[in-house]
Structure 1
Amino acid sequence: MTGLTVQYGGTGPYSHSLDGDWIEASILLKKLSKALYRLEYLDLTGCADWFVALKGGERGAVENNSIDWVGDWGQVTTLRLCSGYALKEDATADQISRFAEKISIATEVQKHIRAQRSGKGRTAWIAVEKDSLSKEAKATLETQQGIV
C-alpha cells in the first residue's frame, strides 16, 4: 500500500506551478517561521519550486503573508537554496535554462532578505548558498539567448 497525496489546504495541486499562486505557500512558511523563531541554518535543498514563496510570491512580498526575515527568522545566518541535483555534461539548453532560473530565483530571495534586513544591525547579514553554472553551461545558455 502506498500513501495518499493530501492537499494541505484549499489550493489546487497545480496552483503554484501553473497559476503562480503562492499565497497559501507563503502563509504556511510564515506559520513555520513563527514556530521556529530560533532557527539559524535553513537548508531547502531540493525544494527549488518553493523558493518563490520565501519572498512572498512571484510578484514580491504580500505584506500579510510574507516571512518576517528580521523578527521571526532574524536569527537565520545561513540559507541553502540548492536545486538538489547537478547538471549533466550533456544537458540540453532547456535543462540548463531551467537550472539557471532556479539560481536566479535564489538570488532574488537573497536580495529580498537583505532589503528587509537593511539598516537593522547584526541581523542584516545572511549567507545564501546556491547552485552555480559551469563555464560550459553558461556558454550554452548565452548561445541559446543569442548573447554571443
Structure 2
Amino acid sequence: MWGDRTGSRVVAQQQGSDSAAVAYDALQSAKASNADVVIIDTAGRLHSKHNLMEELIKVVRVLEREVGRDSIENLLVLDAVMGQNGFAQAETFNKALTLDGVVLSKYDNTAKGGVILAIAHKLGLPIRYIGLGEGVDDLRLFEPREFVQALLEKNGDEA
C-alpha cells in the first residue's frame, strides 16, 4: 500500500518468512538497482517479546555485515498514545540494537507525546520525525520548539 502511494519498490515475502532473509533480499535488490535508501519495516515488535527481539537483532547483524554499521540508521517508531510504556520500549530496543533516533507517530490532537522528553534526556536519543496523520506528507522533521509549545498548550487546556 505505502509502496504504491510513494512510488517505491517493495520487496516482500510470504508471511512467516525469516526476517533477516527478507532484509538481505531487499538490500541485494537495492544494490542491484543502485538505490540510495532501503527502508526495512519490522513493525509489530514489542520489547517484551524475546523471540521477536532476537529476530530483530539478527536482521541488524545481517545488514551490518553487508553494508557496515555507519550505513545503517536504526529508528524506533513510537505511538504517541503509548505514554510511559514508550520509555520502557525505547530503553529495551536501544540496549538490544543501539538506536539512532525515534519517530513519534500518531501525534494529533488527542496525544500528548511527552514521553519523548524522557527518551531524549535519559537515553540521549534524538527525535528525528513526527507523524501528524496518515497521509504521505504527514511525516515531518521533528522541530523541538514547536513540539514543546504544542505540548504546553495541550497541558494548559487541561488545567
Which TM-score tier does this pair reach, normalised by the shorter chain?
A: 0.3 to 0.5
Relative contact order, higher structure (CA 8 A, sep 6+)? 1
TM-score, structure 2 length as denominator? 0.38
